[in-house]
Structure 1
Amino acid sequence: MKKLLLTCAAILLTIAVNAQTGYQVGDLASDFNLKNVDGKNISLASHKSAKGYIVVFTCNTCPVSKAYEARLEALNKMYAAKGYPVVAVNTNDPVASPGDTYAKMQERAKEKNFSFAYLEDPDHVYTKKYGAMRTPHVFVLQKTGKGNEVAYIGAIDNDQQEANPQRDNYVQNAVNQLLKGEKPSVTSTKAIGCTIKWKKEVSK
């Protein structure tokens, strides 16, 4: 019984620790250097004229991510020229999710004619660092004198099926407010989507 209680306590502690990982609004997000579908490595700093970034952790295979591809494209076309480009990062381990290999990413980007960077993070280094838990999961960053400050975390909007013209466009509203020099009125929402397909730990 004591062993069972200790095991349960350890599980609860792990859950609590995992729940606290990742960035919160106001934190400074680290840059990354990841391979884009065009074969070149891309960092946030690669966007020299950026005022900030719409970083979205996503994938090829999640139905929710697929449902938002056109809206990500629209966000990039709407805001890249204004200083807030979309930077997409594939979160999934390509072994656990064969539809998320680098080659499949290239196919998807070509098929959908993505105008934004689509990067691979096969070892989940930045997926974990940022604290992404679902696909898609968005982090709107504002470039400041201190670094890239997290201004918004969560969902793109509250309408997965794109059926409600009155939907709350969280990312769009956040970026519009940042461009006006204001803080977003909504800084955090719940990301709704598929769970990330994590790399299996190899037992030693």
Structure 2
Amino acid sequence: MYATVADMRAEGVTPAMAGDTRLALLLDEATRTIDRVTGWHFEPRSATLHLDGRGTPSLWLPVPPIRLYRLALHGEDVSFSKERLVVGGAPVSPGFDGPRLTFRHGRVFPRGEGNVTVGARWGYTEADGTPEGRTPPAIRRACMLLVLRSLSPLADEASLEERTRWRVVEERTREQSYRLDTVRPAVRPLTGEPEVDTFLAPYVKPPLPGAA
């Protein structure tokens, strides 16, 4: 999860508002929402992926690798030393243009379906002096805001008005009606929460060659 129960307590969420168990569930839900709308995940997670080779030196990846622990072609392990392989991954640094592996010395990833096995710790993290990096602060904040929004009284009319105010372009007080803007705002809607979307927008996964 991108934030903790302790983080939420520090934000002023009391046990009377939500117990630890409920907060943990809401944080997990917010984390899943962020993963879904951005296309990345922002903490280290271990997984083994089976990818399609394309007959090229570079293999684009669906998520940044933090640390490789296995690379195999057609089931046979191959070296992933720095002398043989360039890893474009995390912790992400300035100039990052997408996660990929690139063989040196003219070697290629042979064409095939699911013929490249990559076992690694994966995640879009930012440098903080540790080997695996940290969850970006903006992602952590977005997670906390999603939980805070879910704890607000959504059925309350004033709350609903506040949550849709950013879309209102016309009001007629006499008729007690309003019209919602159909034009996209400056930040593409992701969660329906403008403040949250502002934090998330820079982290949305761009289209990457060969990465699903």
The reply to whether TM is greater than 0.5 is: no
Question: Which one has the largest radius of gyration?
Answer: 2
Question: As a proportion of its length, which structure holds more strand?
Answer: 2
**Greater helix fraction, Structure 1 or Structure 2:** 1
